[in-house]
Chains A and B, each alone.
Chain A
Amino acid sequence: MTAYDLVIVGAGPAGLAAAGVAARAGLRVAVLDAGARIGGQYFRQLPDGFNAARPGALHHGFSTFVRLREALGGADVLLGHRVWAVEHGPEGGFAVHCLEGREERARTVAAARLLIATGAYDRVLPFPGWDLPGVMTAGAAQALLKGNLVLAGRRVVVAGTGPFLLPVATSLAEAGAKVAGVFEAGGRFGLAPRALARPGKAAEALAYGYRLARRRVPYKGGRAVVAAHGDGELTHVTVAKVDADWRPYRGGYETIECDTLAVGYGFVPQLDLPAQLGCEIAGDADGGPVARVDRRMRTSVEGVYAAGETTGVGGADLAALEGVIAGRAVVADALGAPAAGDPEDPRMEARRRRLAGFARALLRAYPVRDGWMSWLRDDTLICRCEEVPYGRIKEVRDLGAADARSIKLLARPGMGWCQGRICGHAVARLAGEDPAPPRRPIAQPVRLGDLAAMDGRTLDDDT
């Protein structure tokens, strides 16, 4: 099997930027993505079938995406490819094991170098009623709209913490949903003082604020959705006024009718692949794990690079910049000369420092406070897959499960379909820990028949 010089996992801003840089320098590049179109979560694209005259209306910075798309050069784009495992090849390089399309066809792509730009997904917290139909992540509401032109609901509450709530609420409102309120559990102006350090971001936040105000969408800080209600389906939520630790004030409750709740408490980077390869994982400003990279976006494992949210949640601009740096670094390492430009270009490094500094400041400005644990009732599910209620977690803690791993072994949270991606953060915090790096040797479900077919097969057999 002929190997690509570079395989990039993830066709978001970071992956696309790197692909363009490396392909233009003459490397053989493949970009793999699980989605049906390039863009990743941030620049999720509509299917062509919609013939949208103004696709950019659902995006911030759409011109950036257009530039990235046009700069892809000769890179192969392999869509509908879910990577379930990566491993070192027998003679150097890497084997990237994928499942293609709805049929989940097993396929292995060989790579001399690997860039992991797998992005992030919504961090969610459990609360009573959070598994009622109608409750979904803020990212789910965005994906429905950006990728399918479907409104998540007609009367929507947006809640959680972090600046992402603003664009979600704004696009829902502008697309015709009645947004009954945006509830930021942190302070209303958590962003403001630090945003001044980056005028562009401050203007962006103000613009969202203006657009929400124009549609009379209330935006309130220090408030959290602490319960969702409905007989089989969401009909209303309880919004509580919360203190600095996110504990509800006595009597500070209101009920808001809605058919949909879009909720998100920041993001969790996808680290399954770097963890499989043994890349060093470090703690981010919010305590969560991220892939550790040097100034050239190289991980601790030779030949493996990471860019975008994989190295810390920082948004599309930073991701695209990291992609450029990673692309230049791969070119320099592959050709022995910085043919695509200096990966340590001082101006790029300065810009990366500035953007990363702002991103870390945002993480610190919108922390998740442990007061959410006071929202739980004994029958509140912590793990949606294995249906493990909070009471069961308490029970096994009393039985001697002193850490997150033991809680998992005894009560099964995180052992189901999603492999703890959804409940992992909550279980770790309930155990008083920061979330640990993931250990998922099988990152996507894979048929035993396909796994069996790999037995005794060498990479050369696979074309």
Chain B
Amino acid sequence: MPDVVVIGAGMVGAACAYYAAREGLTVTLVDRGSVAGGTTGSGEGNVLVSDKEPGPELDLAMLSCRLWTELASEAREVGGFEYEPKGGLVVAENDEVLRALTELAGHQGGSGVVARPVAADELADHEPHLAPGFAGGILYPQDAQVQPMLAAARLVRRWPGVTLRTGTEVTGILMEGGRVTGVRTATGDIPAGAVVNAGGTWGGEIAALAGVELPILPRRGFILVTEPLTGGPSGGPFVASGPLVRHKVYTAAYVTNVASDSEGLETSAVVEATQAGTVLIGASRERVGFDRTVSLPVLARLARQAVALFPALADVRAIRAYCGFRPYCPDHLPVIGADPRVPGLYHACGHEGAGIGLAPVTGLLVAQLITGAEPELDPEPFSPGRFAGAAAWTA
């Protein structure tokens, strides 16, 4: 019998299993699909501090950013997961936006974020192919990118105390005397001392199996992928003058959209290159449930915004597009910690678009809460208890 069952083998579940096993616990990690088959495999692999306002989530992100560098150096000898501290560049369309951006960066500095103002005439030094006319920007050297599927898979394999069971759907939560005692799966019960809900976008459904409500909803996002640029026939015009896109580059509108409550479509340009030579173009946010139907208007909007940032992209071809569902809570904070309504049940979900970046710190906190160790930072703002006022479902 494992000490812990973690439900969901995405990036967050993998990190929970990793840190729990590092604390000496035995862990069974179950997923109805495969490793990293859900939202982890549908994003860009962002590890960002730049897009967060000062507050509890930024503190979380700062610690997680540090944990990522540790994990990356640890994983390097087994092949790594393409951790790339490439830095983020946020650009402002006009002076007013630049002032707001600069002010935000000043506040973020208090949380330990490194933010360097970039004047309009210096933007080209950082991104030679950026369109002219931007008022300036802020460079965030701590922003990074990982290949999240690979990262999740490698973390799962790191400690022998973790047993991975893919293709195993959890159909019920075992309870005894109001306390969680394990999970029921299609292939049998798995008793455990603690159960971690790392179900991502489907975290609300897992919670419901334990009779509690967790308000996690999907927010759909599309990503466009270009043809590979580097090393193409004849080298390409972009190789001679360096890569077309060097950092994660986005407009200030991204920050406001991240925190937005709008029901409708929101898009903001987010452009970055990958080690495979492609350029990823985001980001859109829509509340349309779990609808996977591709929306050409959304793809067209993303393309227009990306070309506005990097005019040279106009002649680059898109070869594919995909969508995923970011799990969000109404207050845009993740749910991390013990559920006061059901002893033995821990939640680690609802990270919206920040799940990759916040995965290590989430895993660390959950492991510390399970073992009773002193948490490295105060988990109270993320406590599932904040939803305890909602009527509990009947078990």
Contacts and interface: CB of A to CB of B under 8 A. Distances in A.
Direct A–B touching, Cβ under 8 Å: yes
Interface stretch (A222-230, A280-288, A322-330, A438-446): A438-446
Given A400-B9, A403-B37, A446 B318 contact: yes
Nearest to A395: B79
A349 B316 CA distance: 48
B33 A449 contact: no
Interface stretch (B135-143, B300-308, B334-342, B376-384): B300-308
Interface residues of A, number: 37
Contacts of A442: 299, 318-321
Interface in B284-317: 293-294, 296-297, 299-301, 303-304, 306-307, 313-317
A87 interface: yes
A71 interface: no
A399 B307 CA distance: 38
Interface stretch (A122-130, A309-317, A353-361, A404-412): A404-412
Main secondary structure of the interface of A (DSSP, over half): loop
Given A405-B34, A441-B321, A452 B153 contact: no
Most buried by A among B41, B296, B314: B296
Given A401-B35, A402-B167, A449 B294 contact: no
B303 A455 contact: yes
Contacts of A53: none
A446 B276 CA distance: 19
Contacts of B371: none
A406 B37 contact: yes
Given A441-B320, A448-B316, A405 B300 contact: no
B276 A412 contact: yes
Most buried by B among A401, A406, A419: A406
A399 B157 contact: yes
A85 B296 contact: yes
Given A409-B41, A451-B303, A399 B321 contact: no
Given A85-B296, A401-B34, A449-B307, A406 B41 contact: yes
Interface in A379-402: 386, 396, 399-402
| Interface bin, chain B | 35 or more
B166 interface: yes
A452 B321 contact: no
A206 interface: no
A180 to B, nearest CB: 33
Contacts of B319: 417, 419, 442, 445
Given A276-B294, A440-B320, A441-B321, A410 B153 contact: yes
Nearest to B323: A441
B227 A403 contact: no
B149 interface: yes
Contacts of B228: 416-417
Interface string A72-104: 000000000000010100000000010000000
A449 B154 contact: no
A454 interface: yes
Interface string B124-168: 000000000000000000000000011001101100000010110
A441 B294 contact: yes
Contacts of B316: 447-448
B217 to A, nearest CB: 23
Given A278-B293, A402-B166, A440-B320, A448 B306 contact: yes
Given A276-B294, A417-B227, A403 B320 contact: no
Contact of A455 (B276, B300, B313): B300
Interface string B161-205: 000101100000000000000000000000000000000000000
A37 B32 CA distance: 49
Contacts of A453: 300, 304
Interface string B28-68: 00000111110001000000000000000000000000000
A439 B292 CA distance: 10
B368 interface: no
Contacts of A386: 276
A386 B306 CA distance: 25
A87 B296 contact: yes
Contacts of A440: 320
A406 B321 contact: no
Nearest to A95: B296
Contacts of A87: 296
B143 to A, nearest CB: 23
A456 B156 CA distance: 44
Given A445-B227, A452-B314, 4 more contacts: A278-B293, A409-B41, A448-B313, A452-B304
Interface of A: 85, 87, 97, 276, 278, 386, 396, 399-403, 405-406, 409-410, 412, 415-417, 419, 439-442, 445-449, 451-457
9 contacts: A399-B154, A400-B35, A400-B153, A410-B150, A415-B276, A442-B318, A445-B317, A447-B318, A451-B300
